[in-house]
Amino acid sequence: MTVTRLAELVAGGGVAVLSGAGLSTESGIPDYRGPTGRARRAEPMTYQRFVGSAQARQRYWARSHVGWRQIGQARPNAGHRAVAELERRGLLAGIVTQNVDGLHQAAGARRVIELHGGLDRVVCLSCRERTPRAELERRLRAANPEWEAAAARINPDGDAVLTDAQVAGFQVVGCAACGGVLKPDVVFFGENVPRPRVDECFALVGGARLLLVLGSSLTVRSGLRFVTKAASLGIPIAIVNQGETGGDADASLTLDAPLGPTLTELTARLPVPAQ
């Protein structure tokens, strides 16, 4: 299938976008299962371990402190900018992203639902106050003035791979307001996406004229459920991804192609609305 056919589908408007980690690889953020992904050698942090163990929190925040250097400095790529341009032209109903990097918004997109939350915020598990990640990073640097560690690998969730020796001695800080435990404002493994957020995503997809999946392998239920919903309602599905996906059987169009160049070409093929 060609970009020409994709442009024909998108031109009708009412498009719900579902984006995954593959959209951010051109910004230097690796994905899990695509061409830049690498198999995890360490188990991901679970919510239960995070809240139940000070040692687990020390490990998480040390690794995330290092990983944030890459995630926090990442900039939107051509794919993010193209999606924002589609929204500017009035073709999108909204965006559901599985990513936690905030790059859709940084590119100028406004109607974005962060399914799994965002790494640019932290939340206190006691008083529930949300504060900017940049503020926490300043406090962590102050608490660890001589601590330095180089990561072997950075994962899409900002989790850097460090050794136990590198983690040792890292000082974790609590909530500045109440002293409680701080957690990134993202959904951990073992934690449920808030039901109102899921319902909002289903409503967006259910009311769309087209579901456009960008850079998601759709191998887990988190994203695949929206494809299944669209298919059950007879809503056309278009998928642009590098490699096969779990939703290919339900799609009316699939493109195995790099996201940035493909989406840039897509916008070039669509008419620019009159001002």
CATH 3.30.1600.10-classified regions of the chain: 39-73+119-186
Q: Is the pLDDT of residue 152 over 90?
A: no
Q: What is the pLDDT of residues 62-90, one digit of tens each?
A: 999 988 888 888 999 999 999 999 999 99
pLDDT at res. 115: 97
- Give the SS3 label for residue 256: strand
Q: Which of 65, 80, 104, 116 is catalytic?
A: 116
230 labelled binding-site residue:
no
178 labelled binding-site residue:
yes
Q: What is the pLDDT of residues 200-209, one digit of tens each?
A: 999 999 999 9
- The DSSP result for 21-80, as a single string, is GGGSGGGT---SSSTT----SSPPPBHHHHHH-HHHHHHHHHHHHHHHHHHTT----HHH
CATH superfamily placement of domain 1-29+76-116+193-270:
TPP-binding domain (3.40.50.1220)
CATH 3.40.50.1220-classified regions of the chain: 1-29+76-116+193-270
What is the pTM assigned to this prediction? 0.90
What rounded mean pLDDT belongs to the chain?
91
201 labelled binding-site residue:
no
33 labelled binding-site residue:
yes
Q: Is the pLDDT of residue 26 over 60?
A: yes
37 labelled binding-site residue:
yes
pLDDT at res. 21: 94
Q: Is the pLDDT of residue 251 over 90?
A: yes
Closest by CA to 95, choosing from 108, 104, 85, is 104
Q: Is the pLDDT of residue 1 over 60?
A: no
* Active-site annotation holds for 104: no
CATH class of 39-73+119-186: alpha beta
